[in-house]
Amino acid sequence: MLNISDIMQTVNMIDHQHLDIRTITLGISLYDCADENINSCAKKIYDKICSKAENLVKVGCEIEREYGIPIINKRISVTPIAQVAASCNGEDYSIIGHALDDAAKTCGVNFIGGFSSLVHKGFTNADKKLINSIPKTLSETELVCSSVNVATTKAGINMDAVALMGKIIKRTAELTAQQDGLGCAKLVVFANAVEDNPFMAGAFHGEGEAECVINVGVSGPGVVYKALQEVKGRSFDVVAETVKRTAFRITRMGQMVANAASERLKIPFGVVDLSLAPTPAQGDSVARILEEMGLEICGTHGTTAALALLNDAVKKGGVMASGHVGGLSGAFIPVSEDEGMINAVRKNALSIEKLEAMTCVCSVGLDMIAVPGDTSAETISAIIADEAAIGVINSKTTAVRIIPAPSKKFGDTVEFGGLLGAAPVMKVNQAGCSEFIKRGGRIPAPIHSLKN
């Protein structure tokens, strides 16, 4: 029989250290839903999602009960809608947004991602229509998430798209002003977006993907934090080894759940995303892991190095535990969704500039950051451009999910509730950058993109 201490370790991880499967995300291709008539297209999309995802939540709950492991989210990602809707008549794609929202509600999932567009090199007519429909869609729907890829290492940065997204984010905040700009929490601007990311708000079912696929995102900052408490004062060699061992266990569990879900739903397994995804709950924070390494508070000098070690060790530990690793894979640092990050911002220890440095060494970017409501569209675009540059030059995914919270000032707090948490409004550099953004065009791909 298994060792009693191993068994109790697993039970304790689940009961006391927030070990869970963060999401089972069903990717569904919608290419066969294209139709000249946008209403017919929307109906086909609704019908296909409801038929493919019919059993997703039921099976997820079954696995939760049988294995005793919480599966926090069951979600759906779909083909970027700009590609599906390209042959539709009409300008307003929010009709399709509503179909996605209705389908998500019928299936019982808590988010659906893919109201998306890939414009890293340029816009098609459909891309323009989709992007212009984002503010209305996010303000009128509850569960739809949107993402726009504005840059890749291969193509460079589409600065016209960067400029446009600043305006779209501002407009989305205005239309959801009564909820403190909640719409912007469901909108991600990417560089080097991945096609198989199971996490929201940036999930979509990429063009290289199969008809349907199961992707799983694991979590477990609390487990890593607890493991590091056991090696206080020891060298970084020991810290790295401890994180690797813990990540291995977490990922093995994720792979097992992915296999079980794939078998029961009769849908192929895609990837496990090895991510340390925090929640606002006490003891489920990435920031607290960094502090456990010896930092007084997250954001102080040393934070970037601590995060680099953590991010790398999570990947090294996880990669052997899974057949296929994908998605974003690394540590997430969403401010509003991490109790320790919120604390660090409130104590003025963590700034946007420091977060930007941290995004150079972790899996995503400036995530769930609230800024004053009077922040200009150009400043938001420039923040996006900086993040995109980090992603493009370092051949990694970066993203910006920023909320210019209407009528909020530096020091206020924005409450989103649930997994989205609460975000302290952060200070933004006041110096202008509008002439920079106004230039438009493309920032060329870096020299190291020429690998052939």
Partner 1 sequence: MKAIMTVIGSDRVGIIASVCSLLASMDINILDITQTVMEGIFTMTLLVDTSTSKHSFDEIRSALIQRGEDEGLNIHIQRTDIFNAMHRV
Please state, in angstroms and rounded to a whole number, the distance separating the CA atoms of residues 96 and 100: 6
DSSP-based three-state secondary structure for 315: helix
Residue with smaller CB distance to partner 1, 223 or 370: 223
Q: Count CB atoms within 10 A of the CB of residue 283.
A: 17
Please state, in angstroms and rounded to a whole number, the distance separating the CA atoms of residues 232 and 122: 51
- Minimum CB distance to partner 1, residue 247 (Å): 12
Residue with smaller CB distance to partner 1, 2 or 450: 2
- Minimum CB distance to partner 1, residue 262 (Å): 14
Residue with smaller CB distance to partner 1, 169 or 260: 260
Which residue, among 237, 247, 424, has the nearest Cα to 347 in the 3D structure? 424
- Minimum CB distance to partner 1, residue 306 (Å): 26
Residue 183, both tokens: 């719409």
Residue with smaller CB distance to partner 1, 190 or 248: 248
Residue with smaller CB distance to partner 1, 144 or 274: 274
Q: Count CB atoms within 10 A of the CB of residue 31.
A: 11
Q: How do beta strands 212-218 and 366-372 pair?
A: unpaired
- Minimum CB distance to partner 1, residue 267 (Å): 19
Please state, in angstroms and rounded to a whole number, the distance separating the CA atoms of residues 59 and 254: 15
Residue with smaller CB distance to partner 1, 271 or 342: 271
Dump strand ranges (E) for 199-253.
212-218
- Minimum CB distance to partner 1, residue 10 (Å): 6
- Minimum CB distance to partner 1, residue 217 (Å): 17
Residue with smaller CB distance to partner 1, 9 or 55: 9
Q: Read out DSSP for 5-68?
A: HHHHHHHHHHHHS---EEEEEEEE--GGG--SSHHHHHHHHHHHHHHHTTTHHHHHHHHHHHHT
Please state, in angstroms and rounded to a whole number, the distance separating the CA atoms of residues 125 and 93: 12
- The residues of the shown chain that bind partner 1, judged by CB under 8 A, are 1-4, 6-11, 15, 65-69, 249, 252-253, 255-256, 260
Please state, in angstroms and rounded to a whole number, the distance separating the CA atoms of residues 187 and 223: 29
The counts of H helices and E strands in the chain are 15, 15
Residues 6+ away with beta carbon under 8 Å from 362: 307, 308, 310, 311, 330, 331, 332, 333
- Minimum CB distance to partner 1, residue 242 (Å): 15
- Minimum CB distance to partner 1, residue 271 (Å): 17
Residue with smaller CB distance to partner 1, 15 or 211: 15
